[in-house]
Amino acid sequence: EAGVAQSPRYKIIEKRQSVAFWCNPISGHATLYWYQQILGQGPKLLIQFQNNGVVDDSQLPKDRFSAERLKGVDSTLKIQPAKLEDSAVYLCASSLLRADTQYFGPGTRLTVL
């Protein structure tokens, strides 16, 4: 069974530029999460989807971050415009059911210069 796929693995941009990350969850997993992990800290939930609907986006900085999960499968997370403090690893995770074990992708490491 293929795991959670993410791309790109690494991205370097300058502040005020835009960036997008892509996630392909495990086949059949209805729940998808995006987390932000700043160096030295634990991951922080940004947004949770159930199929193509948003369940929780309370910690998503909506002035610059957006996410979508069209057709309830793949998801994209966008930052526009990026700030220095957005430098982090962005992790995507999926689970078969809500409140089930989460399976994590390898993450995208973003560096904002």
Partner 1 sequence: KNEVEQSPQNLTAQEGEFITINCSYSVGISALHWLQQHPGGGIVSLFMLSSGKKKHGRLIATINIQEKHSSLHITASHPRDSAVYICAVRRGGADGLTFGKGTHLIIQP
Q: How far is the CB of 66 from partner 1 (least distance, A)?
A: 18
Q: How far is the CB of 60 from partner 1 (least distance, A)?
A: 11
Residue among 16 and 39 whose Cβ is closer to partner 1: 39
HEC states along the chain? CCCCEEECCEEEECCCCCEEEEEECCCCCCEEEEEEECCCCCCEEEEEEECCEEEECCCCCCCCEEEECHHHCCEEEEECCCCHHHCEEEEEEEECCCCCCCEECCCEEEEEC
Residue among 5 and 13 whose Cβ is closer to partner 1: 5
Q: Which residue has the tokens 């939930």?
A: 45
Residue among 82 and 91 whose Cβ is closer to partner 1: 91
Q: What are the residues binding partner 1 (CB under 8 A)?
A: 3-4, 31, 33, 40-45, 48, 55-56, 91, 93, 95, 98-99, 101-107
Q: How far is the CB of 100 from partner 1 (least distance, A)?
A: 8
| CA pair distance 72, 27, nearest whole angstrom | 11
Q: How far is the CB of 106 from partner 1 (least distance, A)?
A: 4
Residue among 25 and 105 whose Cβ is closer to partner 1: 105
